[in-house]
């Protein structure tokens, strides 16, 4: 099994006021570990750019057993774990300096054509992806579906600073906006045990985004992000937070 380990130190600017790491920052660490490993294995940004396509995160579930805090040293272990025709899976384990397991995450990724943004058939790209490897999470990863009763929490216009290498909104920005909306609606941000995020569409600089939050049910909160496009808008991201 091809694994990679990357070490991070939690910086003050990646923390909430209480000193715990922001979920969006933790996802940035996961993204960096995944990107570096993909480059190492021969299907990273440079390799995909030559094929005129790029990777996008489609689905991720992060389960936190102990939250990293300011100045903690964190090791992220990651490995590709299989693929279908459309999605490739990747696993993550977060490990404290003393060897304790801090969090687990599973993710699904897609390859999009750079010109059309259409998903590509992974079987036709001849990528060195493993057919199947162990999963980090005990249950299979599923895609979220919209809940009911969403209430507007806030809205924003996508700034240039939210864009990534591919010119669209970076996946971690949606999570940051969701946490902002949740904190505004609740007047504080609860400690998060699970963050599950499903991506539905791309957003770009200048798009108007509305952040909608559903009522808490059994400790679970749904967050929907929608961009203005036509009379109804387009759903771009769904999150489920377990506190």
110 and 217 both lie in a single domain? no
Give pLDDT tens digits for 19-42: 999 999 999 999 999 999 999 999
User: Does residue 138 sit within a domain?
Assistant: no
Name residue 134's beta-bridge partners: none
Task: Return the beta strands (E) in the chain as ranges.
Answer: 4-9, 53-64, 73-83, 88-96, 101-113, 151-157, 194-199, 208-213, 220-227, 234-242
Helix axes 171-186, 23-41, angle to 10 degrees: 170
User: Does residue 212 sit within a domain?
Assistant: yes
> How many beta carbons lie within 10 A of that of residue 60, not counting itself?
24
Where among 108, 124, 140 does a domain terminate?
A: 124
Length of the chain: 243
User: Does residue 144 sit within a domain?
Assistant: no
Contact between residue 196 and residue 178 where contact means Cβ atoms under 8 Å apart: no
Give the structural domain span for 61: 4-124
10 and 107 both lie in a single domain? yes
Q: What percent of the chain shows pLDDT beyond 70?
A: 100
Where among 106, 124, 142 does a domain terminate?
A: 124
What CATH number does the domain containing 57 carry?
3.10.129.10
Contact between residue 134 and residue 142 where contact means Cβ atoms under 8 Å apart: no
117 and 158 both lie in a single domain? no
Give pLDDT tens digits for 155-171: 999 999 999 988 999 99
Domains identified in the chain, total number = 2
Give pLDDT tens digits for 63-107: 999 999 999 999 999 999 999 999 999 999 999 999 999 999 999
99 and 156 both lie in a single domain? no
User: Does residue 129 sit within a domain?
Assistant: no
């Amino acid at each position: 099994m091809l694994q990679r380990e990357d070490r991070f130190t939690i910086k003050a600017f990646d923390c909430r006021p209480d000193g715990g790491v922001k979920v969006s920052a933790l996802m940035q660490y996961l993204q960096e570990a995944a990107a570096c490993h993909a480059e190492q294995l021969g299907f990273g940004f440079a390799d995909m750019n030559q094929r005129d396509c790029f990777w996008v995160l489609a689905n991720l579930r992060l389960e936190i057993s102990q939250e990293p805090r300011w100045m903690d040293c964190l090791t992220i272990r990651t490995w590709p774990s299989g693929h279908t025709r459309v999605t490739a899976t990747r696993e993550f384990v977060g490990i404290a300096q003393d060897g304790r397991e801090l969090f687990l995450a599973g993710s699904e990724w897609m390859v999009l054509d750079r010109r059309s943004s259409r998903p590509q058939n992974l079987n036709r790209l001849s990528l060195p992806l493993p057919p199947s490897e162990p999963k980090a999470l005990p249950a299979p990863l599923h895609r979220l579906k919209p809940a009911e009763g969403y209430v507007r929490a806030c809205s924003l216009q996508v700034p240039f600073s939210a864009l990534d290498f591919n010119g669209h909104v970076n996946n971690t920005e949606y999570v940051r906006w969701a946490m902002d909306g949740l904190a505004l609606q609740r007047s504080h941000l609860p400690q998060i045990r699970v963050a599950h995020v499903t991506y539905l569409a791309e957003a770009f600089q200048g798009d108007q985004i509305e952040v909608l939050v559903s009522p808490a049910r059994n400790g679970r909160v749904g967050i929907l992000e929608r961009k203005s496009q036509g009379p109804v808008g387009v759903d771009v991201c769904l999150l489920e937070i377990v506190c």
